[in-house]
Structures are given as C-alpha cells and as structure tokens.
Amino acid sequence: MGTVSSLGNNNNAFWENLIAGKSGISRITGFDVTDYPCKVGSQVKDFDPNEFMGPKEVRHNDPYTHYAVAAAKQAVEDSRLDIAHTNKERVGVIIGSGIGGLQTIQTQSERLHHLGPRKVSPFMIPALIVNIATGVVAIEVGAMGPSMTTVSACASGSHAIGVSLNHLRYGMADVMITGGSEASITALGYAGFCSMKAMSTSFNNTPEKSSRPFDAKRDGFVMGEGAGVLVLETLEHALARNAFIYCELIGYASTSDAYHITAPDPEGKGIEMCIKNALNDANVLPENVDYINAHGTSTLQNDKAETRALKSIFKENVLSIPVSSTKSMTGHLLGAAGGIEAAIIAKVIQKGEIPPTINYEEPDPECDLNYVPNKKIKKEVNIAMTNSIGFGGHNVSIIMKAYKAEDKKE
C-alpha cells in the first residue's frame, strides 16, 4: 500500500498519526479564504512531487496525478514487486478520482480570461482529464495490463478496488495497482462546495474540531486531499514470489440509491443492499464482521442513513461491532477516500488496533452505535468492512479478511 494525506506522506507516518487520533485538519493556506464560509481543510503538507517524478512530468501534471504517482510508487515498493522483471502485460492499473485535475481547470481558466486563448497550456487537457492519473502511473511503473479509471464521486476509489478485484477473479491480470486520488482543495472547488452548503462552517477557529462524524454538533464535511493505492494480486502470484500479505480482499458490491443527485436515501436502503451483497460475495455472515470503517462524512443526513443501514443489517449484534469514521482525522478525500480507507482496514487487520472517531463528544440519538469515540482500541480483527457513498447515489462496500496460510492448506 501507499498513502499520501494530511496525516503523512508515507505509510508509517500516516498510520502512527491516525491510530493516535491526531487531526490533519487546519486552516486553508493555499488560497485566501476570507470570503469563504468554510475556511478549513485537510491539506497535504511538505509534499514534494519531484521525489517521485521527473521535473517535466511534475510540470505537466495536476497535483491529483502527483499524489497518485507518489502513492502508487510507495505501494509498489512496499509490495517488493519487480515489474521490470515480471510479466508487465499481466500488471494493470485502475485509479479512481471524483473530479480529476481541478487545479489545472482553475489555473488555465484564469489564463484564458486574463491572457487569451493562445496562452492556455497545450498540456491542459491531458492534465485535467480524470483518467490521466491511471495513465501516468502505468507509464511511471511500466504496467501494461488492464488500464482504466472509475469516476463515481466519493465512491470512485472503492469502485476502482472492486473492479480490480474482478479483473483478478476473471483471470484478466495477475496484479492490479489500484485506489484513488484527489486534489480538490482549490478556490474553485471550495466555491462550489460552499455554495452547496455541504461543508462545515461552525469550527473555522478550531479546525481540528470541524470533522465530527456521528456527533450531534456535526455541520458538514471537511475537504481532504491525497491518495491511497493498493497492490492487489492473486494468491498464486503472491505466494510464487514470497510476497508479504497484509490480508485478503474477499468481498465487493456496488449499488445505487436511485433517489437524489446529492442526498442519500434517508432510510439507507441503497447502502444496506450494498453491504448485504458484499457480505454474500464474501460468503461472510453479519455476525462475523469484527470492524467497520464507516463512510461517516460528518454530514447530517449521511451519518444517519448509514447508521440505519448498519442497524438493519447487523441487528442485535450491531452494538458489539466497532464502527469508526477516520474522516474525523483525514477529512473527506472524495474520490481518494475509498483507497485510503481500504488501506486503513488492511492495517487494522495487520496491527490489531482500531482507529477512533475523534470529536465524538455529544451523542446524536439517531447515531447511537459503538463509534470508538476519541481513543483507539485494541482488538483482533479477522474480518473488516469499509463503505463508500457518493453523489449520484453510488454505494460501495469492500470486505477484507486476515490471511492465514494454514487455512489455505486445509
């Protein structure tokens, strides 16, 4: 796995800060927020794309591609996969993004307005299109297998992982480099989301308190940025090269609310069906799930709908299952959220530690599950699940399981 986020630009820093319950959210520094209702975000800090790409490639690409390449190269290094000496045609790339090159759109629009059409960069189009991170990652690591991009708003990264899983299941590849990347903390992005009244505005003076999933005082999501990328491979391929295995990816499902372009079904029926289908795909009973990484955006409706769905699926066992929203610390990375959160549940399985939901201070009567408030807990986790919900009514659930070599011998 590879991660880039406000909590750190490598796996170790990210996990240590996450499990310690630290917030990566601060006042926006990239542009003047004086006239913006929301003035906080979960910004990537101290990141140098030149560590991962050549100067020309850095110059010609958007930050969302920089993050994707950095996370992908970290993931390949972490996997110890030697792509140059393997079957490149059997290594694929699917990186999801909800928006793509938003900074490029903003910058080049300003150039058009102030300098005229001849001053618009010839690299504008390839830098902004949503599939280009996948293309650049494939070029940078030399992967020649299946290559595409998933675009489903905040479910994009999770869709990428699920589609990659099916590529492996169907024998279309041996290895898939997959996850999500986003760089939407821009003046234009904030103007749009603030206009929708979707973002937190009540905690501008205490940014670290602004993302508070399931808490009664939550008032909107907090924008995050970064990338999370995994290396998935068939068990046969992993064993043949003696790879370190974090866990198994055993279940994936995708559904639609068919309800509203931005609001979730208030009864949570779409995400409920998605969770049920993922459990069936994984051949796992609800009572065997040990941890849930919730979508938990800190918006009024989303948190209630997801809670209702979990209650409906897990019934009397629901209070015994730790449910945390790590967006309380990372903010909401939109199309990258699924990649980051899949990496989190893999680490939870490996480490036996569950990250908290910070800022859970005043319970909401309609959000009354075990949200791991404010401090991590230690627990052996055999099966973990993560949910993603996106504008347009897109739902994704992914299930992972501890890998036990002895089970494979039986």
Q: Looking at residue 409, what is its pLDDT?
A: 58
Predicted confidence (pLDDT) per residue in 43-55, tens digit = 999 999 999 999 9
Cβ pair 349, 381 in contact under 8 A: yes
> Quick one: CA dihedral 192, 189, 334, 277, positive or negative?
positive
The DSSP secondary-structure symbol of 176 reads E
Predicted confidence (pLDDT) per residue in 318-331, tens digit = 999 999 999 999 99
Q: Looking at residue 118, what is its pLDDT?
A: 96
Question: Among residues 197, 217, 240, which one ends one of the domains?
Answer: 240
Strand partners, 232: 176
Rounded Cα distance between 155 and 393, Å, is: 9
User: What's 35's domain CATH number?
Assistant: 3.40.47.10
Q: Looking at residue 408, what is its pLDDT?
A: 64
Q: Is 79 helix (H, G, I), strand (E, B) or coil?
A: helix
Rounded Cα distance between 262 and 31, Å, is: 26
Same domain assignment for residues 63 and 149: yes
Indicate whether 400 pLDDT > 60. yes
Same domain assignment for residues 264 and 226: no
Question: Among residues 240, 273, 299, which one ends one of the domains?
Answer: 240
Known catalytic residues?
154, 295, 332
Rounded Cα distance between 374 and 21, Å, is: 7
Q: In the block, which residue shows the tokens 């929301």?
A: 38
Indicate whether 410 pLDDT > 60. no
Q: Nearest-CA neighbor of 65 among 130, 120, 1, 8?
A: 130
Same domain assignment for residues 234 and 338: no
Same domain assignment for residues 149 and 270: no
Same domain assignment for residues 346 and 281: yes
Question: Among residues 220, 240, 260, which one ends one of the domains?
Answer: 240
Q: Looking at residue 406, what is its pLDDT?
A: 72
Same domain assignment for residues 299 and 220: no
Q: Is 235 helix (H, G, I), strand (E, B) or coil?
A: helix
Same domain assignment for residues 178 and 213: yes
Q: Looking at residue 347, what is its pLDDT?
A: 98
Report, as an integer, the average pLDDT of 59-65. 98
Percent of all residues in the chain with a pLDDT value above 90, rounded to a whole number: 97
Cβ pair 24, 47 in contact under 8 A: no
Q: Looking at residue 100, what is its pLDDT?
A: 97
Same domain assignment for residues 188 and 264: no
Cβ pair 367, 316 in contact under 8 A: no
Q: Looking at residue 307, what is its pLDDT?
A: 97
Question: What burial class does residue 321 get, using C-beta atoms within 10 Å of its C-beta: 0-12 exposed, 13-18 middle, 19+ buried?
Answer: middle
Among 15-29, 220-234, 392-406, the minimum mean pLDDT is found in 392-406
- Contacts for 395 with CB less than 8 Å, ≥ 6 apart: 155, 254, 255, 256, 257, 270, 271, 273, 274, 387, 388, 389
Same domain assignment for residues 235 and 256: no
CA dihedral (338, 342, 348, 349) in degrees, to 10, reads: 150
Same domain assignment for residues 286 and 379: yes
Predicted confidence (pLDDT) per residue in 348-379, tens digit = 999 999 999 999 999 999 999 999 999 999 99
Q: How many distinct structural domains can be found in the chain?
A: 2
CA dist 321 to 51, 134, 291, Å? 40, 35, 6
Same domain assignment for residues 235 and 268: no
Q: How many CB atoms lie within 10 A of CB 205?
A: 10
More confident residue, 393 or 87: 393
Indicate whether 281 pLDDT > 60. yes
Predicted confidence (pLDDT) per residue in 216-242, tens digit = 999 999 999 999 999 999 999 999 999
Same domain assignment for residues 272 and 373: yes
Cβ pair 244, 80 in contact under 8 A: yes
Give me the domain span that covers residue 123.
2-240
